Amino acid sequence: MTEDQIGLVRDSFAKVAPIAPAAASLFYGRLFTLDPSLKSLFTGDMEEQGEKLMMMIATVVGSLDRFEQIAPTVRELGRRHAGYGVKAAHFDTVADSGRWSKGSATSSRPRCATAGSRATGYCRKK
């Protein structure tokens, strides 16, 4: 990712971070609307789940300029997800929901969306 793209992702996340619980709730609400079958994969408390999700995103966003340092953590997270029953195609639904929630919580711009896709694509590859 270019420095410019990392900056866009960070600026964008900085807008969401203060309203993290609301953003997480929007995100999961949209996710289960897009694919109600995903609901059964989540067995824990959804508020806690939202906190974990936002904390992990914050870690990744904060480390985009030294991604190799956190790549093992992201890889481990991916491995745990296989155990939760998550399939590769679910990432497209999660990405759709993420874009929608971010657009609802902040005003999204196309350049920012491209940078965001690069960031998530990067994690997905690792």
In the complex, what is the shortest distance from the CB of residue 93 to ligand HEM, in angstroms, rounded to a whole number? 7
Q: Which stretch binds ligand HEM (CB under 6 A): 2-10, 22-30, 37-45, 65-73?
A: 37-45
In the complex, what is the shortest distance from the CB of residue 7 to ligand HEM, in angstroms, rounded to a whole number? 20
Nearer to ligand HEM, 8 or 60 (CB): 60
Question: First vs last Cα of the chain: how many Å apart?
Answer: 14
Q: Which stretch binds ligand HEM (CB under 6 A): 2-10, 34-42, 63-71, 109-117?
A: 34-42
- What does the chain look like in DSSP terms, one character per residue? --HHHHHHHHHHHHHHGGGHHHHHHHHHHHHHHH-GGGGGG--S-HHHHHHHHHHHHHHHHHTGGGHHHHHHHHHHHHHHHHHTT--TTHHHHHHHHHHHHHHHHS---HHHHHHHHHHHHHHHH-
Interface positions, 47-106, toward ligand HEM (CB under 6 A): 49, 52-53, 56-57, 77, 80-81, 84, 86, 90-91, 94
Report the C-alpha gap between 86 and 65 in whole angstroms.
28
Residue 42 binding ligand HEM, by CB under 6 A: yes
Size, binding site for ligand HEM by CB under 6 A: 19
- Chain residues that interact with ligand HEM, rule: CB under 6 A: 38, 41-44, 49, 52-53, 56-57, 77, 80-81, 84, 86, 90-91, 94, 120
